[in-house]
Chain A
Amino acid sequence: DVKVTQSSRYLVKRTGEKVFLECVQDMDHENMFWYRQDPGLGLRLIYFSYDVKMKEKGDIPEGYSVSREKKERFSLILESASTNQTSMYLCASSLQGIGNNEQFFGPGTRLTVL
């Protein structure tokens, strides 16, 4: 079974702190994704990566950056956390293909910024 793990289930940070969210997948997937989930808005794509050291902006990249130094690890960075970044963050991975490959999700990190 594919396993996608995220470094923390719950995280509380203060405004202005630099925050790192880590995601690791164990199935040699090329694609990795970061989403944020908010009630009534579904999942919105922040950043994604098709390969090591490659990254593409999603729909809401402002205030975030990412790093992919190794194939299995994709990090989301909040350079200076703000209260409006309080949310559930979900990481996912998938094989490359023509779009019919499912994404496998981690359990999520619920981040609260005070």
Chain B
Amino acid sequence: AQSVTQLGSHVSVSEGALVLLRCNYSSSVPPYLFWYVQYPNQGLQLLLKYTSAATLVKGINGFEAEFKKSETSFHLTKPSAHMSDAAEYFCAVSERGKLIFGQGTELSVKP
């Protein structure tokens, strides 16, 4: 079975600093990978997805993620954090049409 591990349940950055949220997956086949964001009291919203077309994937709100097969990683980055980025972020891998989610990383942004 596939699985996803997000390193760090809480990440805190200063406004304007680099955001790096880590995600490692295990999969026996080339994976489809997703990053979702959840703002307080809302459902999940897709940030970006990897479907093997390109290893560097650009998403909404200035986020991007790079698929590294050798490291089985799909880390999410944003060059400059904004206060509005404070939310919970989930990495997920697709398995036969279902999504397997990581535990989530809560991002705090300090002024």
Contacts and interface: CB of A to CB of B under 8 A. Distances in A.
Contact of A108 (B36, B42, B51, B104): B42
A33 B98 contact: yes
Nearest to B93: A99
A100 B96 CA distance: 10
B49 to A, nearest CB: 6
Interface residues of B, number: 23
Interface in A42-68: 42-45, 48, 50, 58
Contact of A99 (B32, B101, B102, B103): B32
A96 B94 CA distance: 12
A43 B101 contact: yes
Contact of B46 (A40, A99, A102): A102
Contacts of B94: 99-100
A107 B51 contact: no
Given A99-B96, A107-B42, 16 more contacts: A31-B97, A40-B9, A41-B103, A42-B101, A43-B90, A44-B101, A45-B99, A58-B98, A90-B43, A99-B97, A100-B32, A101-B97, A105-B36, A105-B44, A106-B43, A107-B41
13 contacts: A40-B104, A42-B101, A42-B104, A44-B101, A92-B44, A99-B32, A99-B95, A100-B32, A100-B94, A103-B44, A103-B99, A104-B46, A106-B43
